[in-house]
């Protein structure tokens, strides 16, 4: 690949230099497309972005890639370590491979698409993000999820949606078990519309039948602290 003016090779540049240059970009003008080479599992790559820039990362990344992203589109052509897109506010993060634990943790907005599988605690404490996982997810996913959607084309591990608030969960495959206060809910037209929109945003329109999914949400039994609700 021929390096472009917007190409940073982490074999020679530091993560600090990369992030500093990306932070200098503003919404004014055209932030352009940036390509990152040789991430080599480095941590905190492309974090705190605050402009509608497109960042393409060729390789595997470590912890917290695209953390606290706002407005940017980040594509990872590889696997992602712990906490990819953690606390994202807006924008898009696309993992072409698998993601480790806590993908999309506490994120307030934006779209996280994972082509492969996601490990444990996917969407933990999610606060408005939309997450689409084309593979399966690990245990304790959407733990204490407050808002947003988690869509899983594969299976979900143990204790899905434990202590859930108002996040909405759609799973096409099997669910190993539901966590405390998480229940299966009726899939009505309005939910099918929401699911369809999320699949469409992830580029899956027409490829997946929404009728194959089941919906899970909070029983709201833990919303009021009472002896009958203590686990």
Partner 1 sequence: MDHTNIPRTVPRKSATFDDYTLSEIRRAAATGLYDIRGAGTKRKLPHLDDLLFLGASISRYPLEGYREKCGTNVVLGGRFAKKPIEIRIPITIAGMSFGSLSAQAKEALGRGASAVGTSTTTGDGGMTAEERGHSSTLVYQYLPSRYGMNPDDLRKADAIEVVIGQGAKPGGGGMLLGQKISPRVAAMRTLPQGIDQRSACRHPDWTGPDDLEIKIQELREITDWEKPIYVKVGAARPYYDTALAVKAGADVVVLDGMQGGTAATQEVFIEHVGIPLLAAIRPAVQALQDLGMHRKVQLIVSGGIRNGADVAKCLALGADAVSIGTAALVALGDNDPALAADYAALGTVPGAYDDWQDGRDPAGITTQDPALATRLDPEKAGRRLANYLSVLALEAQTIARACGKSHVHNLEPEDLVSLTIEAAAMARVPLAGTDWIPGAGRY
Would you tell me which residues interact with partner 1 (CB under 8 A)? 15-16, 19-20, 23, 43-44, 47-48, 50, 62-64, 67-68, 70, 82-83, 86-87, 89, 101-102, 105-106, 108, 121, 124-125, 127-128, 143-144, 146-147, 163, 165-166, 222-227, 230
Q: How far is the CB of 47 from partner 1 (least distance, A)?
A: 5
Q: How far is the CB of 5 from partner 1 (least distance, A)?
A: 22
| Residue whose CB is less far from partner 1, 38 or 146 | 146
Q: How far is the CB of 133 from partner 1 (least distance, A)?
A: 17
Give the DSSP letter of residue 92.
E
Q: Which tokens sit at 203?
A: 């580029």
Gap between the Cα atoms of 78 and 206, Å rounded: 26
Gap between the Cα atoms of 84 and 104, Å rounded: 6
| Residue whose CB is less far from partner 1, 113 or 144 | 144
Gap between the Cα atoms of 53 and 76, Å rounded: 14
| Residue whose CB is less far from partner 1, 181 or 210 | 181
Q: Which tokens sit at 58?
A: 């060729």
| Residue whose CB is less far from partner 1, 147 or 183 | 147
Q: How far is the CB of 64 from partner 1 (least distance, A)?
A: 4
Give the angle subtended at the CA of 144 by the CAs of 186 and 161, to the nearest 5°: 40
Gap between the Cα atoms of 78 and 94, Å rounded: 10
| Residue whose CB is less far from partner 1, 70 or 214 | 70
> Coil, helix or strand for 167?
coil
Q: Which tokens sit at 178?
A: 């539901």
């Amino acid at each position: 690949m021929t390096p472009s003016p917007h190409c940073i090779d982490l074999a020679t540049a530091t993560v600090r230099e990369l992030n500093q240059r990306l932070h200098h970009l503003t919404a004014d003008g055209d932030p352009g497309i940036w390509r990152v080479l040789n991430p080599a599992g480095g941590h905190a790559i492309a974090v705190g972005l605050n402009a509608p820039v497109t960042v393409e990362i060729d390789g595997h990344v470590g912890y917290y890639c695209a953390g606290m992203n706002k407005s940017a589109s980040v594509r990872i052509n590889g696997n992602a370590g712990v906490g990819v897109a953690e606390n994202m506010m807006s924008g898009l993060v696309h993992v072409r491979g698998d993601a480790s634990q806590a993908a999309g943790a506490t994120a307030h907005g934006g779209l996280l698409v994972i082509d492969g599988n996601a490990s444990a605690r996917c969407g933990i404490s999610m606060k408005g993000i939309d997450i689409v996982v084309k593979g399966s997810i690990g245990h304790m996913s959407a733990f204490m999820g407050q808002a947003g959607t988690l869509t899983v084309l594969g299976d979900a591990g143990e204790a899905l949606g434990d202590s859930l608030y108002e996040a909405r969960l759609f799973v096409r495959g099997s669910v190993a078990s539901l966590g405390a206060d998480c229940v299966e809910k009726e899939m009505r037209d309005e939910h099918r519309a929401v699911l369809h929109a999320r699949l469409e945003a992830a580029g899956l329109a027409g490829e997946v039948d929404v009728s194959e999914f089941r919906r899970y949400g909070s029983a709201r039994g833990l919303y009021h602290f009472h002896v009958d609700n203590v686990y």
